């Protein structure tokens, strides 16, 4: 069982690190949507992170940066931050579980995996619906860019992380202890029966 827990821990740690990298890359790259005309790349529409106001140092003053942006941008921006925070916590717990095996760590990993899954699922579906393929005047089209597909990749791996951490939670120590207690009770019962049997000899 110790080897099985180590396997779950290793898989959880590797998946958490990959998902963390994908989520950060999706958050801070600028091609969630791409504008093009006649199949020729023109410019990335917008990323989630407001690099324009960051580079100019006007984010605190330029309120129009957020006012002019679609509401769903800000919603997905928030849920992606939640996803990054969740996978960061899951990664720290996975590293901790390498050295300490405790039920609360396994429970916490499962909890943050569920939270991560919900945040990424909402971000991907909500943004995908709001920013799906559209055609504008003069042959311009807007499609989903590689930053969006990085988030989709993170969600895909999160499914495996969720399965791994939940499986580890339910195959953890308390179940084994109940099994051991049951076996000990059976052995004690058989021993008592033999001791009460005059024909039994050790």
What is the predicted pLDDT for the residue at 198? 55
pTM over 0.75: no
pLDDT, tens only, 78-113: 899 999 999 999 999 999 988 887 888 889 999 999
Q: Is the pLDDT of residue 120 over 90?
A: yes
pLDDT, tens only, 130-178: 776 555 555 667 778 889 999 999 999 999 999 999 998 888 655 444 4
Lay out the sheet containing 140-144: strands in order across.
Answer: 40-46, 33-37, 140-144, 134-135
What is the predicted pLDDT for the residue at 56? 54
What is the predicted pLDDT for the residue at 73? 79
Burial string for 87-121 (b: 16+ CB within 10 Å, else e) reads bbbbbebbebbeeeeeeebbebbbbbbebbbebbe
Reported as a pLDDT band with limits 50, 70 and 90, residue 179 is: very low
Residue 167, CA atoms < 13 Å, CB-side half-sphere: 15
**Mean pLDDT, rounded, for 109-134:** 88
DSSP 16: H
């Amino acid at each position: 069982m110790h080897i099985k827990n180590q396997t779950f821990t290793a898989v959880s740690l590797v998946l958490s690190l990959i998902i963390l990298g994908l989520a950060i890359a999706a958050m801070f790259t600028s091609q969630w949507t791409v504008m093009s005309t006649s199949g020729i790349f023109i410019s990335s529409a917008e990323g989630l992170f407001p690099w324009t106001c960051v580079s100019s140092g006007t984010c605190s003053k330029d309120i129009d940066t957020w006012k002019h942006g679609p509401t769903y941008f800000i919603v997905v921006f928030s849920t992606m931050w939640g996803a990054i925070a969740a996978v960061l916590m899951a990664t720290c717990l996975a590293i901790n579980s390498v050295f300490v095996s405790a039920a609360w760590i396994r429970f916490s990993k499962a909890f943050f995996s569920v939270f991560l899954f919900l945040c990424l699922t909402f971000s991907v579906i909500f943004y995908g619906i709001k920013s799906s393929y559209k055609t504008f005047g003069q042959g311009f089209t807007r499609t989903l860019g590689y930053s969006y597909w990085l988030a989709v990749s993170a969600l895909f791996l999160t499914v495996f992380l969720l399965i791994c951490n939940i499986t580890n939670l339910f195959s953890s120590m308390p179940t084994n202890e109940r099994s051991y207690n049951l076996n000990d009770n059976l052995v004690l019962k058989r021993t008592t029966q033999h001791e009460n049997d005059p024909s039994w000899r050790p």
